[in-house]
Amino acid sequence: MIDFRYHLVSLISVFLALAVGIVLGAGPLRENLGDQLAGQVEQLRTEQERLRSESEELTTKNDQLATFVSEIGPELVRGTLSGKQVAVITDDSSTGPVVERMESLLNDAGVASPMKISLQPAMWEPDAGQERAATVEEIRSIAPAVLTDDPDAELTDSAQLSGLIPALLRGGDDLPAELRTQLWQVLLDHQMVVVDGTPPGRADAVIYAGADPAALTDENEDETVAAERAQALLASQTHLLTVLGQTGLPAVVSATTPGNDASTGILRTVRGDRAFDALSTTDRLQEPDGPLLSVLALVEQTRGGTGSYGTTSDAEERLPNLPETQGIQGEATDQGGDAPPASSDGGGEG
């Protein structure tokens, strides 16, 4: 026969435990837990405010440094590129204002007449495929050897045409002036490039000025067309810079990085691939000191050095380590943003 006394004792124990829990939860334990949570929330709020304040202070200091550096820029670079012929290649008209400041600094550095080459959308637009094919065929009929050797037909027409540009700028015995002029004219006639004045001559050094990646897209295109555009653009930019690195010319890739973000666009590709190690890179092209950073990096390139400079997370240093920048190098390291200090490969006179 079941003895209900044991069940009664068990039930009483359960209800007693519940009662004790309710009393404690409504009393001192609840107050203690609530105080702890409130304290943690307040601590997190204080930490967030501190981090925000430090970020704003760092941004202010960096802006002040950028303004200061840009103001003394002409003196920093004066005479550093005397007698050099420098070509500036850009991939969008939106870089116009910064390229103008860059050309002014190149003048200060001793470059008599910088050569500006503007890549045109026909280089990569999806609906310009036939025009690109016709351009490649015309160039092949004039000087087939000038195109990149491609036995497996892996290169697109966008890539072949872009790779021609640094080859023409380098020149050489196999590319006399008359032939170079003829090939430039083909690119001009097919609206693949625009140049200031007459077709460029041979260059001693090159700066590639990259636009904001958003400026190179068309928000009205559907996904398929947008993907074709992006693929052709990347092929064009990548092969141009690959050939540029192979020419041995001192060269810098400078990119617009909105929001101090270099995770998109050509800069990410160049900094993330050792195939481009011969090229120096700079970010923050759109900022007051951006054009100067490009020219300083080019000066270092002409002296045998290389590096990646700016304030994005993948930059090695704020500024190239040159005799001309020694007075501001320490301040740049302290105020330059997220980039960790590191040594560049060459800053002395060569």
Residues 129 and 20 in one domain: no
Q: Say how far apart CA 311 and CA 332 lie, in whole Å.
A: 10
| Count of C-beta atoms within a 10 Å radius of residue 342 | 12
Residues 78 and 40 in one domain: no
Residue that is written with structure tokens 């001793």 in the block: 110
Residues 195 and 331 in one domain: yes
Note the residue count of the chain.
350
Query: Which residues are paired to 38 by β-bridges?
Result: none
Residues 249 and 146 in one domain: yes
Residues 158 and 43 in one domain: no
On whether residue 350 sits in a domain, the answer given is no
On whether residue 64 sits in a domain, the answer given is no
On whether residue 349 sits in a domain, the answer given is no
Give residue 38's domain range: 4-53
On whether residue 343 sits in a domain, the answer given is no
Residues 135 and 265 in one domain: yes
Residues 120 and 18 in one domain: no
What confidence score (pLDDT) does residue 21 get?
A: 60
On whether residue 163 sits in a domain, the answer given is yes
On whether residue 276 sits in a domain, the answer given is yes
Question: Secondary structure of the chain in the HEC alphabet?
Answer: CCCHHHHHHHHHHHHHHHHHHHHHHHCHHHHHHHHHHHHHHHHHHHHHHHHHHHHHHHHHHHHHHHHHHHHCHHHHHCCCCCCCCEEEEECCHHHHHHHHHHHHHHHHCCCCCCEEEEECHHHCCHHHHHHHHHHHHHHHHHCHHHCCCCCCCCCCHHHHHHHHHHHHHHCECCECHHHHHHHHHHHHHCCCEEECCCCCCCCCEEEEEECCHHHHCCCCCCHHHHHHHHHHHHHHHHHHHHHHHHHCCCEEEEECCHHHCCCCCHHHHHHCCHHHCCCEEECCCCCCCHHHHHHHHHHHHHCCCCCEECCCCCCCECCCCCHHHHHHHHHHHHHCCCCCCCCCCCCCCC
What confidence score (pLDDT) does residue 350 get?
A: 36
Residues 329 and 186 in one domain: yes
Please list the pLDDT of the chain residue by residue as tens digits (350 residues). Answer: 455 455 555 666 666 666 556 555 555 555 566 667 677 777 777 777 777 766 666 666 566 666 666 678 999 999 999 999 999 999 999 999 999 999 999 999 999 899 999 999 999 999 999 999 999 999 999 999 999 999 888 999 999 999 999 999 999 989 999 999 999 999 999 999 999 888 899 999 999 999 999 999 988 889 999 999 999 999 999 999 999 999 999 999 999 999 999 988 999 999 999 999 999 999 999 999 999 999 999 999 999 999 999 999 999 999 999 999 987 765 555 544 443 333 344 444 43
Residues 99 and 193 in one domain: yes
On whether residue 236 sits in a domain, the answer given is yes
Task: Give, rounded to a whole angstrom, the gap between the first and last alpha carbons of the chain.
Answer: 106
Residues 172 and 45 in one domain: no
Q: What is the CA radius of gyration of the chain?
A: 30
What confidence score (pLDDT) does residue 68 get?
A: 63
Total domains in the chain come to 2
On whether residue 58 sits in a domain, the answer given is no
Residues 160 and 234 in one domain: yes
Residues 211 and 323 in one domain: yes
Residue that is written with structure tokens 């124990």 in the block: 13
